[in-house]
A and B are shown apart, each in its own frame.
Chain A
């Protein structure tokens, strides 16, 4: 029974179908925008080419964030909508752990995952090693930071840097090819849905200002 993984959290629109650790098919397109229009046909194509029906899917996996506002909503809505209608569990993992995972798997050591943010900020989390499920082990709290803070974190505990924010974070070697949906599906196959729910991970408060009265008012 395969796992269907989808990622629309940043520039890429991706989907993969994995069963018992083996990829049955994968689609990855760097779109920038237009994920809402592309994702559903992409899933249909993926299923058709793999010779599977949606009803065959045993569970879903999705990136919970950080990422673009619209991209996260698209991926989470589709994964949760499919999970609801198919009565199948949905696993949610942060983009930071998914950026670090494949790098830790191949290189080990310390990995700084950095994902683009807005207004000169980025999202950062440091990981060291993989746990028994193959998930990166956090070595710092995930958060949204100014870029110079992130550079300082990296220089304090040097390691590999990965993710869409690698270059602004000072890495001249990291090449980010987007989150790997096959890796997401493979690790999601082993996880407990109750522990990894598809709840959005924003790592920052919403943009909103509390209302302040223009003048004193009797209450």
Chain B
């Protein structure tokens, strides 16, 4: 055991954040330091990628089993890294949704138990808000900003005007962009997670060999649809297999390159529409364009989004790569922002919510009923 480092004077509040909504078991402590570089006090992420790889995607029951077996020890290690005790922190935040309910339950109940034992408030954090506010943890980004949130489970463009203040400009009507990557990778035998595998294969491919669709391209609005593209990818792969008896590497690389280009074309088109909508609300000016979620880690797509920002006079921001994918720091920070805004907050009565759109008041685009809007 290492000697706990001498306690330094942190700028309060100090918030512990817990993230268990999908396949990362993660926790972090953040402070309100004026210097963004000093805000992240400690963080730990335990990825489950290897546990899910052979199944070709995240298996909810395996994810939940992993969270319950590791979360308490992960937090114990985090506290040791930080040299802090639970008495030293001011609030405990956890992702309460959206996400896989089994994992959410583990994080929320662990957080509530810690909060109760330590006599601290519990703060419920929307996972998407965590992604949205990460750039304010790592830098100085003022409201309003335009948020492009692209991950394996989420695909939205939002006008963000404050903490808890979101207006949806576009969302997907079927698959998330990252989900399309994962499903394409699975279909092509590239394994899980699909994003990095498809990106790597695409580097060797000819993006123009296959004529793949660009769903909703040129249509009004900023919504996405990727299911037709997914079907076209399958047909292209099947045609290659019918010809050669096997999907060879070049065919696969060409499909990946074509697929990634099609996704990029859709993102660029939809983003231009969203920027026009954003500018109608906020006028001209060099507003931040914030890109978050695992898809922001794709270099080709990131470059295309940066180009749109430049062409439209927006200022591109993205969290560091390590904070693009799910992590505890984003949850701790979103909890801290809410705690600062509402010092008497205590969300102890809030339960996990598998579905929880950021713009709760908007008309559901997909899904309704007991479980609530899916998008």
Residues on A close to B: CB < 8 A? 36-37, 39-40, 43-44, 54-55, 69-70, 72-74, 76-86, 199-200, 202, 206-211, 213-219
- Chain A residue at minimum C-beta to C-beta distance from B237: A215
Q: Which B residues are CB-close (under 8 A) to A219?
A: 189
Of B64-72, B168-176, B202-210, which binds chain A? Answer: B64-72
Q: Which A residues are CB-close (under 8 A) to B68?
A: 72-73, 76-77, 80, 200
Bound form: Cα–Cα A206–B61 in Å: 6
Q: A36-B108, A74-B105 are in contact. Are A81 and B113 (CB under 8 A)?
A: yes
Q: Which of A44, A69, A211 contacts B102 (CB 8 A)?
A: A69
Q: A69-B102, A211-B57, A218-B246 are in contact. Are A78 and B188 (CB under 8 A)?
A: no
Q: Which A residues are CB-close (under 8 A) to B234?
A: 214
- Chain A residue at minimum C-beta to C-beta distance from B113: A81
Bound form: Cα–Cα A10–B62 in Å: 20
For residue B39, CB closer than 8 A to chain A, the reply is no
Bound form: Cα–Cα A218–B238 in Å: 14
Listed by A's residue number, 20 A-B pairs whose Cβ atoms lie within 8 Å are: A36-B352, A39-B109, A40-B116, A77-B68, A77-B71, A78-B109, A81-B109, A81-B113, A81-B117, A82-B116, A85-B117, A86-B117, A211-B192, A213-B189, A214-B234, A216-B247, A217-B246, A218-B246, A218-B252, A219-B189
Q: Which B residues are CB-close (under 8 A) to A202?
A: 65
For residue B187, CB closer than 8 A to chain A, the reply is yes
- Chain B residue at minimum C-beta to C-beta distance from A84: B72
For residue B304, CB closer than 8 A to chain A, the reply is no
Q: Is the interface of B mostly helix, strand, loop or mixed?
A: helix
Count contacts on B: residues with CB < 8 A to the other chain.
50
* CB proximity of B119 to chain A, nearest CB, Å: 9
Q: Which of A36, A85, A214, A218 contacts B187 (CB 8 A)?
A: A214
Query: Once the chains bind, are A37 and B61 in contact (CB under 8 Å)?
Result: no
Bound form: Cα–Cα A54–B116 in Å: 9
Q: Which of B62, B69, B348, B351 contacts A200 (CB 8 A)?
A: B69
Q: Which A residues are CB-close (under 8 A) to B110?
A: 77-78, 80-81, 84
Bound form: Cα–Cα A138–B72 in Å: 30
Q: A76-B68, A218-B252 are in contact. Are A43 and B62 (CB under 8 A)?
A: no
Q: Which of A54, A80, A206 contacts B62 (CB 8 A)?
A: A206
* CB proximity of A39 to chain B, nearest CB, Å: 8
Q: Which B residues are CB-close (under 8 A) to A209?
A: 55
Extra contacts besides A40-B348, A84-B113, A215-B241 (13): CB < 8 Å = A36-B109, A40-B113, A72-B68, A73-B102, A79-B113, A81-B113, A82-B116, A200-B69, A208-B59, A213-B189, A216-B247, A217-B246, A218-B249
Q: Which B residues are CB-close (under 8 A) to A211?
A: 54-57, 186, 192
For residue B86, CB closer than 8 A to chain A, the reply is yes
Q: Which B residues are CB-close (under 8 A) to A85?
A: 86, 113-114, 117-118
* CB proximity of A38 to chain B, nearest CB, Å: 11
Within 8 A of A (CB), among B93-150: 101-102, 105-114, 116-118
For residue B262, CB closer than 8 A to chain A, the reply is no
Query: Once the chains bind, are B72 and A217 in contact (CB under 8 Å)?
Result: no
Q: Which B residues are CB-close (under 8 A) to A70?
A: 101-102, 105
* CB proximity of B235 to chain A, nearest CB, Å: 12
* CB proximity of B266 to chain A, nearest CB, Å: 24
For residue B163, CB closer than 8 A to chain A, the reply is no
Bound form: Cα–Cα A39–B110 in Å: 12
Bound form: Cα–Cα A148–B178 in Å: 45
Q: Which of B57, B64, B86, B105 contacts A36 (CB 8 A)?
A: B105
Q: Mark B11-26, 1 if CB is under 8 A from A, else 0.
A: 0000000000000000
Q: Which B residues are CB-close (under 8 A) to A207?
A: 59, 61
Q: Which A residues are CB-close (under 8 A) to B71?
A: 77, 80
Query: Once the chains bind, are B64 and A73 in contact (CB under 8 Å)?
Result: yes
Query: Once the chains bind, are A81 and B72 in contact (CB under 8 Å)?
Result: yes
Query: Once the chains bind, are B109 and A215 in contact (CB under 8 Å)?
Result: no
Query: Once the chains bind, are A215 and B247 in contact (CB under 8 Å)?
Result: yes
* CB proximity of A212 to chain B, nearest CB, Å: 9
* CB proximity of B348 to chain A, nearest CB, Å: 7
Q: Which of A44, A54, A74, A206 contacts B59 (CB 8 A)?
A: A206
For residue B248, CB closer than 8 A to chain A, the reply is yes
- Chain A residue at minimum C-beta to C-beta distance from B349: A37
For residue B76, CB closer than 8 A to chain A, the reply is yes
Bound form: Cα–Cα A85–B110 in Å: 10
Bound form: Cα–Cα A70–B56 in Å: 24
- Chain B residue at minimum C-beta to C-beta distance from A69: B102
- Chain B residue at minimum C-beta to C-beta distance from A215: B241
Within 8 A of A (CB), among B238-265: 238, 241, 245-249, 252
- Chain B residue at minimum C-beta to C-beta distance from A83: B72
Bound form: Cα–Cα A209–B62 in Å: 11
Bound form: Cα–Cα A217–B297 in Å: 26
- Chain B residue at minimum C-beta to C-beta distance from A86: B117
* CB proximity of A88 to chain B, nearest CB, Å: 9
Bound form: Cα–Cα A80–B248 in Å: 50
